């Protein structure tokens, strides 16, 4: 009898909490869902801010022309490009310290937004709209799929090393393309591969959001998903722009 009770208790632990997001979940689903909602709220604000800043850069032509037509503007543009990399270090260090983490997150988002705006400034509106629609469809579809797959016990943590290696290949490919331009077809291949890699990262980081991120890592979790979405959009923009030309 005692053996049966012990076996029943172990089975209950394996089955997890009622309404669990994945099999074997022992934490409160309500707490995890609150954490997930917080992440997506922060992410929504980031994307809205990015869209607003990028739209400003695209619609107000003197801004984009200032960045490309003067030495001072070009220097400022280079600073804005490398600024997110410098912000990431203190952001990682202070990601649990409020309100410093939100201030750094805002600066990080705005600097990325200017880079996105400059990428869109000299692109036709049709291409931007197509890239935005494709990005939205991919992000929503992959997010829903990851939640569905996690509920059925699938784990995507194994993707981490492969995705990291793929990013290294993309960086080397991009560097070669900058030094030795390989033509429109290679640009399309680069954009397509990049879109696949960051689609994989959306699955990987969403799976981490569901299972592995602790409750005080909300800033870093939002940054990861934000970079996945922005990079996916930029890769699709590269692909569609090369195909259109």
Q: Check residue 151 and give its pLDDT.
A: 92
Whole-model pTM: value is 0.88
Q: What is the 3-state secondary structure (H, E, C) of the chain?
A: CHHHHHHHHHHHHHHCCCCCCCCCCCCCHHHHHHHHHHHHHHHHHHHHHHHHHHHHHHHCHHHHHHHHHCHHHHHHHHHHHHHHHHHHHHHHHCCCCCCHHHHHHHHHHHHHHHHHHHHHHCCCHHHHHHHHHHHHHHHHHHHHHHHHHHHCCCCCCCHHHHHHHHHHHHHHHHHHHHHCCCCHHHHHHHHHHHHHHHHHHHHHHHHHHHHCCCCCCHHHHHHHHHHHHHHHHHHHHHHHHHHHC
- Mean pLDDT, 10 residues at a time, the chain of 245 residues: 42 54 85 94 96 90 76 74 86 84 92 90 89 96 96 92 93 83 82 94 95 89 95 93 81
pLDDT at 156: 93
- pLDDT reported for residue 12: 42
């Amino acid at each position: 009898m005692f053996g049966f009770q012990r076996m029943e208790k172990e089975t209950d632990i394996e089955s997890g909490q009622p309404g669990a997001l994945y099999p074997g979940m022992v934490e409160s689903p309500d707490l995890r869902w609150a954490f997930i909602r917080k992440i997506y709220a922060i992410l929504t604000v980031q994307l809205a801010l990015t869209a607003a800043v990028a739209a400003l850069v695209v619609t107000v032509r003197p801004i984009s022309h200032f960045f490309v037509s003067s030495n001072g503007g070009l220097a400022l543009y280079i600073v804005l490009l490398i600024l997110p990399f410098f912000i990431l270090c203190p952001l990682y260090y202070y990601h649990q310290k409020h309100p410093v983490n939100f201030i750094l997150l805002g600066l990080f988002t705005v600097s990325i937004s200017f880079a996105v705006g400059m990428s869109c400034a000299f692109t036709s509106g049709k291409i931007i709209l197509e890239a935005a629609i494709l990005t939205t469809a991919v992000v929503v579809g992959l997010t829903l799929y990851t939640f569905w797959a996690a509920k059925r016990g699938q784990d995507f943590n194994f993707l981490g090393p492969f995705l990291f290696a793929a990013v290294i290949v993309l960086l080397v490919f991009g560097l070669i393309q900058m030094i030795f331009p390989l033509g429109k077809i290679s640009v399309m291949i680069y954009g397509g591969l990049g879109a696949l890699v960051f689609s994989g990262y959306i699955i990987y980081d969403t799976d981490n959001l569901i299972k592995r991120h602790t409750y005080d890592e909300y800033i870093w979790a939002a940054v990861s998903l934000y970079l996945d979405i922005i990079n996916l959009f930029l890769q699709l923009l590269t692909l569609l722009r090369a195909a259109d030309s």
